[in-house]
Chains A and B, each alone.
Chain A
Amino acid sequence: MLVDIGFWVLAVLAVASAVLVFVVDSMARATYALAVSFVAVGFALVLLQQNYVGVVTVLMMLMEMAVMAVYMVMYMGMNPALMPMSMVHGKRAALAVSGAAFVVLGAGALLVDWPVRRGVPAPDVTAALGEALMGRQMLVMVVISPVMVATIVGGVVLAAHRTRYDRFGDDLRRRPARDPQRGGVGR
């Protein structure tokens, strides 16, 4: 009973705050409305007794939205509260696409012939989930991770307009490096 009430409260909160993202006229409000929506989804996961996944979802989403607000404001150059803005562009097409997607997904969830449970859940669902996601693929993950990090570093290096020659001089011998921003450890 309490779980049902909790689920409905969280579900309504998640959808309502997601709608608010497109209703409010402030960048900060839109960002944090989205954060509230994600937090509600995270706590819905806790209701599914996936405590670890649920709480980590809340953690990641709060952190992500705190940083995203900064980037959104930075790129939009918006003055707090003084300049109303809209999160919606190409309203008609967007409404049609999102409405259709909602109907398809909702109909799928309601109409599909869900299988009945066989067996019982593992005693530690978090460990079971981790095993299912990562167990067989551990080698792949271990190989892909350095490649992904290298891609990020490579992307930053390619995007930065200053090279090591700007920092260390033509013979790469200048110490400390000439940086526009002084670091904190005296390099």
Chain B
Amino acid sequence: MGEAVTPGLLGSVAVAAALLAALATAAVVLDGVLGARSEGRSSRPALTRPVDEVARLLRQRRRAPLSADTLLWRIGGGGLGVAALLMVAVVPLGEWVIADLDVGVVWFNTMDVAVWALVWLTGWGANSVHSLVGGYRFLALALAYELPLMFALVAPAVGAASLDVREIAAAQGSLWFVVWMPVAFAVYCLGVVAFSVWGPFTPPAGSDVAGGVLSELSGVDRLLVQAGRYALLAAGAAFAVPMFLGGGSGPLLPGWAWVVLKSAVLLAALVWLRRRLPSARPDLVMEVGWVVLLPAVLLQDLAVAVVVAWRG
């Protein structure tokens, strides 16, 4: 801590933000193509979908309901993208990382908990019933997915005996953690999908509550929230690379290219999954999270701890 704010730091933040934006944009295009395919439409319009959406939302009038708490509302909506950027700040691109934090895993976890507050504030601030229902739904889902997600993050940290993301990536020289921690990886991916309000975890923004947290958002506010969701999905995929997928290790290409490639592949898989899974009802997911996922991931942690202790 306390290092000087140099152009180098600002430059690296810009590069990380550009990479995150590129991944998120690719996810928007892929989701559009998959959506068009499943409905039998031409997938041509989906290719320009990010540009079209940005142009449309930037030109749209920015409305706010009566007596909305605009301050909290906009903090919530604008914060999602910031949280995603702060997540990727600890992801090493090969040798290079923005913030070489010795507790990077805890930092990522802190940012995904910040999403609790941000989504709830987005729901609350609008002063509208559907929006508020969406905010509460998110917290209900969060209580179900967060503890399994936390214990899923514990497994690679125990495996590498470190909370430093770079050391965790380096500890997977011979065997990727995803191979011998499959349960933790699956639960982690579920957590990423959940904190991005994506796929089975879309009920907070569901069409049955008129768009939930999204219902009152328009113009640039809506753009920030939607972009933030995609950015969170991309950041979650990127963080999985050093945690489970061997970081920058791979033949021929340099380390940073492998990190980007692996993130893109996992992100594509998460985008594809959206249409394959049913939506998770907030009132039912609690029991699934605590009765099925939590014991499963705790057993995974136990297995990892036993292996680590046995290897010495």
The A-contacting residues of B in range 163-205, CB under 8 angstroms, are 163
> Smallest CB-CB separation from A70: which chain B residue?
B139
Tell me, in angstroms, the Cα distance from A82 to B292 when the chains sit together: 41
A residues in contact with B146, CB < 8 Å? 63
A139 CB to closest chain B CB, in angstroms? 20
The B-contacting residues of A in range 56-105, CB under 8 angstroms, are 56, 58-59, 62-63, 65-67, 69-70, 80-82
A167 at the interface (CB under 8 A from B): no
B285 at the interface (CB under 8 A from A): yes
Q: Tell me whether A183 and B1 are in contact (CB under 8 A).
A: no
Task: Pick out which of these stretches binds chain B: A11-19, A43-51, A108-116, A158-166.
Answer: A43-51
Number of A-B contacts (CB under 8 A): 96
Tell me, in angstroms, the Cα distance from A63 to B145 when the chains sit together: 13
B17 at the interface (CB under 8 A from A): no
Q: Tell me whether A82 and B67 are in contact (CB under 8 A).
A: yes
Tell me, in angstroms, the Cα distance from A55 to B109 when the chains sit together: 9
Residue count of chain B within 8 Å CB distance of chain A: 42
Q: Tell me whether A26 and B69 are in contact (CB under 8 A).
A: yes
Q: Tell me whether A28 and B287 are in contact (CB under 8 A).
A: no
Tell me, in angstroms, the Cα distance from A3 to B2 when the chains sit together: 6
A130 at the interface (CB under 8 A from B): no
Q: Tell me whether B101 and A51 are in contact (CB under 8 A).
A: yes
A8 at the interface (CB under 8 A from B): no
Q: Tell me whether A62 and B116 are in contact (CB under 8 A).
A: yes
Known: A2-B4, A56-B106. A62 touches B114 (CB 8 A): yes
**The residue from B67, B72, B120, B132 contacting A29, defined by CB atoms under 8 A apart:** B72
Tell me, in angstroms, the Cα distance from A29 to B70 when the chains sit together: 11
Known: A29-B72, A46-B1, A47-B1. A185 touches B139 (CB 8 A): no
B124 at the interface (CB under 8 A from A): yes
The A-contacting residues of B in range 276-298, CB under 8 angstroms, are 281, 283-288, 291-292
A residues in contact with B113, CB < 8 Å? 59, 62-63, 66
Q: Tell me whether A185 and B291 are in contact (CB under 8 A).
A: yes
**The residue from A56, A62, A80, A181 contacting B127, defined by CB atoms under 8 A apart:** A80
A residues in contact with B106, CB < 8 Å? 52, 55-56, 59
The A-contacting residues of B in range 105-135, CB under 8 angstroms, are 106-107, 109-110, 113-114, 116-117, 120-121, 124-125, 127, 132
**The residue from B4, B68, B139, B163 contacting A52, defined by CB atoms under 8 A apart:** B163
B136 at the interface (CB under 8 A from A): yes
B102 at the interface (CB under 8 A from A): yes
B residues in contact with A21, CB < 8 Å? none
Q: Tell me whether B72 and A58 are in contact (CB under 8 A).
A: no
Q: Tell me whether B117 and A49 are in contact (CB under 8 A).
A: no
Tell me, in angstroms, the Cα distance from A80 to B114 when the chains sit together: 21
B293 CB to closest chain A CB, in angstroms? 11
Q: Tell me whether A59 and B109 are in contact (CB under 8 A).
A: yes
Q: Tell me whether A81 and B67 are in contact (CB under 8 A).
A: yes
**The residue from A29, A62, A185 contacting B69, defined by CB atoms under 8 A apart:** A29
Additional pairs, 16, CB under 8 Å, beyond known A51-B102, A62-B113: A2-B2, A2-B3, A6-B2, A29-B71, A35-B117, A51-B1, A55-B107, A62-B110, A62-B116, A66-B117, A66-B120, A67-B139, A81-B69, A182-B284, A183-B287, A185-B291
A interface vs B, CB < 8 Å?
Answer: 2-3, 6, 26, 28-29, 32, 35, 46-47, 49, 51-52, 55-56, 58-59, 62-63, 65-67, 69-70, 80-82, 181-185, 187
Q: Which 9 A-B pairs have the closest CB atoms?
A: A184-B284, A184-B287, A183-B287, A59-B110, A184-B288, A66-B116, A3-B2, A81-B67, A55-B106
